Amino acid sequence: MSQFDFDLFTIGAGSGGVRASRFAAAFGARVAIAEERYFGGTCVNVGCIPKKLFSYAAHYREDFHHGAGYGWSSTAGEFDLARLIANKNREIERLNGVYRRLLDAAGVTVFDGRATLIDAHTVEINGAQRSARYILVATGSWPVKPAVPGAELAITSNEAFFLPALPRRVVVVGGGYIAVEFASIFNGMGAETTLVYRGARILRGFDHELGTVLAEEMIKKGVKIRLNANLAAIAPADGGLRATLADGAILEADCIMYATGRAPNTRKLGLETSGVTLTAKDAIAVDAYSQSTVASIYAIGDVTNRVNLTPVATAEGMAVANTLFNNRPTALDYENIPTAIFSNPNVATVGLSEETARLRCGAIDVYASRFRPLRHTLSGSDEQMFMKLVVERVSNRVVGAHMVGADAGEIIQGIAIAIKCGATKAQFDATIGIHPTAAEEFVTLREPRKARG
């Protein structure tokens, strides 16, 4: 009989924790999981799923307008945020139930409550201690606000999904993917929206052209973007809020949202007393197999601050289950992970940016196209799409693909398979395009830009 109550005790029932627990149980392990807040984690409750639903909602006003060019006379009526939130809540509750049922069906013991570490093999949950051969920390991350006077008056992405009414004027602070997504959402729903970012270009860390093109397209749609701008203070004003920038400029708003980053949920978990090493940014330091500095304690997902994406967390969870209970030590490959930004228009990318490719590959060729898609030849919109391939010259291998435009995520997902398989530009060229689609542009790009590498 085992000296431990469980073979695996998982703290956090988000996507990664649930995946690891389910499959560990399927491999024969005795598994328990604890969740203090909501099943499905950030993604299901205040992240990917509700954000995508809100993004869909924000497109309808524009779609109604575009329909006129196709013979439709209907126009968008009054937007009802309360109805959207009620419908969204109903779907999230359904998904919460799905996650719990998946765990029950797998035979995982579920604890509702906050679990903390006592030592390398013990957790405390609801006043009782439970022992485990292995402990998996999958507690995710949480939005943070900078130390700015009046920051408590602002919201984060968490609260944005539960607003009582649509604000008339919104200021979104930040320049990353969450910031541009919510700026697009508020703008699409009809709010006067201003994006304030301290940097010179939005989407820092992505291919430079993606930030440039997206900013231009968002401005066309009515979003005001203020770059090289720092928010210095927030104060109540005339029934709303007043944002003061570092240069003295004033922005009046009914809602100010910070989208300036997230921090790993590692505080008060007992990690330090258990001997687990944290990084300078309070993430759990792990090796290639998601093992912490304590042999029996593993960590996955945002709490490790590696690649903070839901599919990555689930893949890490699967890898841990295979490593510990399926005799298949698995280290995740973090190269060529595709990602999408559900701004309006969408952005998607896989592989190396042009800038990184120049450093890593030396001589490269860049193929790019910016064009008005067929849909907008009748809609009257001047929205443009942007597509780009980055090719390592010596091998002819496509090392990066980037896109701004409708359904970018749907298109780049397929391109990601080709890049993961090491496809060459010649193989892209030999592929017959589907006509007429925007996606065919990726296999019809023939002339590289003037060589610079």
Q: Which one, of 183, 232, 226, lies nearest residue 201 by Cα? A: 226
The Cα 33–Cα 15 span in angstroms is 12
**What's the farthest any 2 CA atoms get from each other in the chain?**
73
The Cα 4–Cα 441 span in angstroms is 57
- Do 110 and 101 meet the contact criterion of CB atoms below 8 Å apart? no
Q: Which one, of 261, 172, 281, lies nearest residue 224 by Cα? A: 172
Residue in this structure with the two tokens 């090719």, named with its chain if needed: 391
**Dihedral of the CA atoms 12, 14, 17, 21 (nearest 10)?**
100
Of residues 66, 208, 402, 435, which has the active-site annotation? 435
- Per DSSP, 345 falls in state S
Q: Which one, of 179, 186, 196, lies nearest residue 231 by Cα? A: 196
> What residues does 370 pair with on adjacent strands?
386
Q: How many helices (H) and strands (E) does the chain have?
A: 12, 21
**Dihedral of the CA atoms 287, 289, 290, 292 (nearest 10)?**
-50
The Cα 92–Cα 341 span in angstroms is 21
C-alpha distances out from residue 85 to 14, 34, 57, 161, 358, Å? 21, 27, 11, 7, 45
Structure tokens belonging to residue 280: 């300078």
In the chain, the amino acid numbered 161 is: F
Q: Is 59 a catalytic residue?
A: no
Q: Which residues are catalytic?
A: 435
